[in-house]
């Protein structure tokens, strides 16, 4: 029954149910991993997560909230670390499910730190009107873009730095490339600016937090796939 919803290769995020000893941090850390094997209906084998290209040795008997990205669906359960070991070149955790697997409605995404070039611009009035009227091709091609730098990215949005200050609540057009399967793939997305602040160490530069607007499921899954490919590449290094 478990394999009907999740299987080998399914990506996941996990965070401790109880607060970890993490200094001044208010929220538990979120770790990215993936399923390596389903042992039984209540036991799965997963990759040990990584942080800053280092393997994180999660403690045995610690319980975690786990969210699984299975295509367009998101599932959640609680699980406890019952063993950790190395098999070949892989470092693994054996997890015992302590609650039933269920659909998870609210999407929270692991944010991947990076440095990626991006072009951005405000939407024209005609484009905004076209979006309101649900036209098929609301965007005008070839308009000039401002250079920006993405500093983290997730399936839900991104954070970027620009010398242009975009207004909170505004919709902007963004274009960037992600490396997928060893090949650069272009992405064009719309985003809503959630927050803006001037950087204290770089006057005239602004940090923006952006939430994707009307992003289709396939594009979102491709972004999540990029994040996990980069995590896997870092793990191999």
Mean pLDDT of 201-220: 91
pTM: 0.59
Which domains can be identified in the chain, with CATH numbers?
2-103 (2.30.110.10), 112-236 (2.40.10.220)
DSSP letters spanning 1-50: -GGGT--TT-EEEEEESSPPS-TT-SS---EEEEEEEEEETTEEEEEPPE
Higher per-residue pLDDT: 142 or 26 = 142
Q: How many CB atoms lie within 10 A of CB 27?
A: 9
CA 36 to CA 87: how far, in whole Å?
A: 11
Judged against a pLDDT cut of 60, whether residue 236 lies above it is answered with yes
Give dist(CA 189, CA 156) in Å, integer. Answer: 12
Summarize the confidence of residues 195-207 as an average pLDDT: 92
- Using only the alpha carbons of the chain, give its radius of gyration: 20
Beta-bridge partner residues of 87: 90
Token output for 181: 């399967």
How would you classify the pairing of strands 63-70 and 54-55? unpaired
Indicate the average pLDDT of the chain. Answer: 88
């Amino acid at each position: 029954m478990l394999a009907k919803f999740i299987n080998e290769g399914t990506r996941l995020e996990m965070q401790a149910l109880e607060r970890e000893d993490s200094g001044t941090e208010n929220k538990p850390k979120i770790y990215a991993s993936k399923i390596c094997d389903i042992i039984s209906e209540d036991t799965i084998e997963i990759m040990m997560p990584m942080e800053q290209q280092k393997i994180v040795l999660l403690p045995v008997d610690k319980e975690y909230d786990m969210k699984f990205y299975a295509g367009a669906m998101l599932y959640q359960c609680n699980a406890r670390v019952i063993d950790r070991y190395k098999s070949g070149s892989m470092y693994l955790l054996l997890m015992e499910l302590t609650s039933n697997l269920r659909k998870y409605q609210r999407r929270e995404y692991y944010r991947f730190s990076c440095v990626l070039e991006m072009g951005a611009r405000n939407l024209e009035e005609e484009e905004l009107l076209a979006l309101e009227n649900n036209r098929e091709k609301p965007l005008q091609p070839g308009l000039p873009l401002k250079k920006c730098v993405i500093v983290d990215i997730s399936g839900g949005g991104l954070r970027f730095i620009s010398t242009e200050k975009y207004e909170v609540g505004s919709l902007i057009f963004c274009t960037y490339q992600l490396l997928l399967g060893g090949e650069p793939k272009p992405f064009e997305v719309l985003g809503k600016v959630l927050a803006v602040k001037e950087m204290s160490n770089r006057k005239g530069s602004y940090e923006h937090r952006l939430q994707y607007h009307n992003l289709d499921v396939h594009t979102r899954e491709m972004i999540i796939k990029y994040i996990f490919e980069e995590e896997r590449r870092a793990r191999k290094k």
